[in-house]
Structure 1
């Protein structure tokens, strides 16, 4: 297996709007990231992934780009970004940016031209269709509710938008569009950027004929219509040949709708497309028929099976991404752990899972201190366009809005976007002004400053675990095997190579568990645990306890 820096690296994802505000306007900025570079370096991570900081009207908080080559003045502009890139490299860190190439903002020059007339040179940069029977071209539904088609009376046609109507989809069938995107990628590589996380890259190739969806479950529509289009691999291979292969960079594609069958194709080293993808089999695990705002309980066996199946699918073929949270999902500990009685233990357990699996580890800002979901008092306190559209849709459909508000508390993307909790001072030390999104009220208990002073805090446990992973490359490249997959509380797996053999055992439950799986306790020594309990009986586990054992 080829060994590279991006396989061995640990990625720290920053949502700059919520990270650190130095201007006092309530919005995090690039200078705020620069100010915290020593903190980021102290975590032991190697790579910063910076969510979009380009010029944007912010209909979807920067994922609607109006100028790919311009850093938004909201974040400090190009000068601040140049300083960030230089100082990041000086500290031995890499900087990866977001590439949003499925769609632009409707305020992008290409689109303002495209909608002027059917003969405009930019018309075919986007996807325009005639209506059918006085309505949209087909029955497709947007990721953010409502039709994917928006009528434009200037030319009496509809344009396609998988997301908000201010995010028109680009037409990758047009070679000029592909050339434009490849030029943008090269522009940033020449500036010294170390790679791209490619937003919803699995959606760029559209299906032939744009047929109606026959599926009730939205996730099925994504898989069968929106994702993995007929030319997706042609486009990615072309991007690799034209630009990516010429630089020592990392690429990770966000892949809604990819599965075990087609996912490995994106990352097969022989195919020369992408280095990694984010699949969402574990992140959509609680989505019911109606999607994320129709949640169902998480099946723990399914959770384990997802990791097992993907490790097997990618073994010796490509490389995986290990993550449990990001800017689009609820807080990791609130979703997969117990953020109340076992907040500290379960936060540490999840950190251990992230840092002992095969694949590149991604840590989302705030997870290293165990930041939790927020429960605002009113829907007016929420900012996320997906949440607000889901609320309007639920209201229009006559749902019980008190019950739906409980779902919002569970599922809103704003859970992950509350300001970073630096200390117990006003606004959690995030800003001297009024924050763009209210801070989580628990910031006085959960913050960086408090955990810096506590030797066994969640924060310091993350630092220990990152260092431990780096000292033991078996956890990066070694083989993987899950044990006792049917166990309702235990997630246990072996990691080994020619030099070392490890056993990692997690108790994902609120009760104590004795688990030996017919293994001989004498053959193992305890290396690490998130708890001081059960040090002598290494197969006895307190609630949310994890142990890393080494085979003698």
Structure 2
């Protein structure tokens, strides 16, 4: 594999609205991020991905962009962004912004001009089609529920939105649209961005016959994924995108990709792939049922199998971006350990399994202190538009209000969007004002300030773990070494080897709360990391406590 500057980096995602509020209005901002750069550097982060801060009406928390060239006043100014880039460079930190180019906001200038003349120049910037007998052009259902088409007032024309109705899809078949987007991307790269996290990129290619598919709900609609799986030719768009933008700046790109064809994985993240990497969503895909409100609770053995298969798929291809949680998922501690999310050992065990895999680890704000899901008492406390839509879909599917709210508490994207818990002070130290979204009530127990003072805390363990991954003595093994499953026959033992020409390292975890013993097949030289204070080993047997994870440097034969 050709070595790239981002291979040995640890990435950290910031959800700016909930990270740190510097001006007391209850909403996180760019100056809040600037003030925490030293914290991120000390943690061990290198690449900082900032979720959208562009101008937006915030119908989908900034993923509905009304002006790609400016910063929304709620987050600050373009000058604040320039200062953030400057201060990050001083600390050798790399800044990524979100790149949302499947759709824009219905308040964007292009769409407003399209509404004035749907069949004119700007109408061709979007997918606008005539309805059929007073109904939408076809039966596609958007990702947030309901028809993927909305009528243009006063006409029989409809525009396509694969997400919310305020997020019209951009017409990538139009060269003028692509040219405008490339100009915008390069403008930001010229300002000093290191690259982008690329949102929902598989959606840019449509099945252009716009035909109906078999309905999968009683309302006669079908999942938009039916169309995406049939669409052909996305590679031409993505190659052109890369050649006209990212390649020119040696930029790092991480893509959000669902529904890609398995045989095309190499085209996405291979040696000459469209992107530097893409998120590994294999666990999330397995956890989600046919509907958002159906959630499969995976067993440790199922999780192990999924991760091992994912590692095997990419072994000769490239590096995935490994995640436990992000702004669109529940908190990892709650999702993986639904019955006991507050167990510190299970949180640190997950960290070991994630960060020492082959791939680029992406942490999400608050993960490093073990933040957990919030408990909403009423749907009125929920801000997330997708959660509200799916709550309604659950009611329509026959769930009671109590059951629907329980599902929202498990699945809502707001679980990861509650404010960062900096301290046990008012509002978790996030703001002096009224937080835009409720603070998790456990902030007095789970917060950074108390964990910084505790060598045995989740935060302190994350620092040690990241330091180990970057240690010059072991870095090549963790970054470029092979990944090989170990002790697969043992139930709830999650173990693998990382091996290079110089070293062989074993990562071994007991993925259950009951203790286990394991007869080692290798001799070891020393313990590199342990999420317990002690390690019991006798007569070739390793005695593992509940959720104990150890990293062992093995003796090479």
Pairwise same-fold verdict (TM > 0.5): yes
The aligned residue for residue 402 of structure 2 is 402
The aligned residue for residue 511 of structure 1 is 514
The aligned residue for residue 443 of structure 1 is 443
Is 1:539 matched with 2:517?
no
Is 1:178 matched with 2:178?
yes
The aligned residue for residue 250 of structure 2 is 248
Partner SS, residue 115 of structure 1: helix
Which stretch shifts more, 469-478 or 28-37? Answer: 469-478
The aligned residue for residue 262 of structure 1 is 264
Q: Distance in 2 between matches of 1:207 and 1:39?
A: 46
Is 1:550 matched with 2:534?
no
Q: Distance in 1 between matches of 2:531 and 2:225?
A: 38
Matching of residues 471-486 of structure 1 within 5 Å: 471=471, 472-473=474-475, 474-485=477-488
- Residue 524 of structure 2 contacts residue 552 of structure 2 at CA under 8 Å; is this kept in 1? no
Could you report, residue by residue, the CA deviation over 1:34-77 in whole angstroms, capped at 9, with x for unpaired residues? 11111111111111000000000000000000000011111011
The aligned residue for residue 239 of structure 1 is 241
Matching of residues 279-358 of structure 1 within 5 Å: 279-290=280-291, 292-337=292-337, 340=340, 343-358=343-358
Cα–Cα, structure 1 residues 215 and 361, in superposed 2: closer, same or farther, change >3 Å?
farther
- Residue 338 of structure 1 contacts residue 346 of structure 1 at CA under 8 Å; is this kept in 2? no
- Residue 134 of structure 2 contacts residue 156 of structure 2 at CA under 8 Å; is this kept in 1? no
Q: Distance in 2 between matches of 1:385 and 1:409?
A: 14
Could you report, residue by residue, the CA deviation over 1:119-153 in whole angstroms, capped at 9, with x for unpaired residues? 32111100011222331122111111111111113
| Count of aligned positions | 548
- Residue 267 of structure 1 contacts residue 317 of structure 1 at CA under 8 Å; is this kept in 2? yes
Q: Distance in 1 between matches of 2:210 and 2:490?
A: 44
Q: Distance in 2 between matches of 1:47 and 1:549?
A: 28
Cα–Cα, structure 1 residues 432 and 342, in superposed 2: closer, same or farther, change >3 Å?
closer
- Residue 337 of structure 1 contacts residue 350 of structure 1 at CA under 8 Å; is this kept in 2? no
Q: Distance in 1 between matches of 2:463 and 2:161?
A: 42
Cα–Cα, structure 1 residues 438 and 324, in superposed 2: closer, same or farther, change >3 Å?
same
Which stretch shifts more, 157-166 or 341-350? Answer: 341-350
The aligned residue for residue 501 of structure 2 is 498
- Residue 143 of structure 2 contacts residue 223 of structure 2 at CA under 8 Å; is this kept in 1? no
- Residue 201 of structure 2 contacts residue 256 of structure 2 at CA under 8 Å; is this kept in 1? yes
Could you report, residue by residue, the CA deviation over 1:209-234 in whole angstroms, capped at 9, with x for unpaired residues? 1222336399x945542258312111
Q: TM-score, normalised by structure 1?
A: 0.95
Partner SS, residue 498 of structure 2: strand
- 1:490 positional shift: 1.4
- 1:393 positional shift: 2.2
The aligned residue for residue 6 of structure 2 is 6
Partner SS, residue 59 of structure 1: coil
Cα–Cα, structure 1 residues 87 and 463, in superposed 2: closer, same or farther, change >3 Å?
same
Matching of residues 39-50 of structure 1 within 5 Å: 39-50=39-50
The aligned residue for residue 90 of structure 2 is 90
Matching of residues 187-226 of structure 1 within 5 Å: 187-214=187-214, 216=216, 221=223, 223-226=225-228
Q: Distance in 1 between matches of 2:511 and 2:224?
A: 31
Q: Distance in 2 between matches of 1:136 and 1:11?
A: 42
Q: TM-score, normalised by structure 2?
A: 0.95
- Residue 342 of structure 2 contacts residue 372 of structure 2 at CA under 8 Å; is this kept in 1? no
Structure 1 gaps of 5+ residues are none
Q: Distance in 1 between matches of 2:483 and 2:215?
A: 36
- Residue 222 of structure 1 contacts residue 256 of structure 1 at CA under 8 Å; is this kept in 2? no
Q: Distance in 1 between matches of 2:299 and 2:338?
A: 15
Cα–Cα, structure 1 residues 399 and 214, in superposed 2: closer, same or farther, change >3 Å?
same
Could you report, residue by residue, the CA deviation over 1:241-284 in whole angstroms, capped at 9, with x for unpaired residues? 112111121011100223533333211223x4111112422112
- 1:85 positional shift: 0.7
Q: Distance in 1 between matches of 2:534 and 2:262?
A: 39
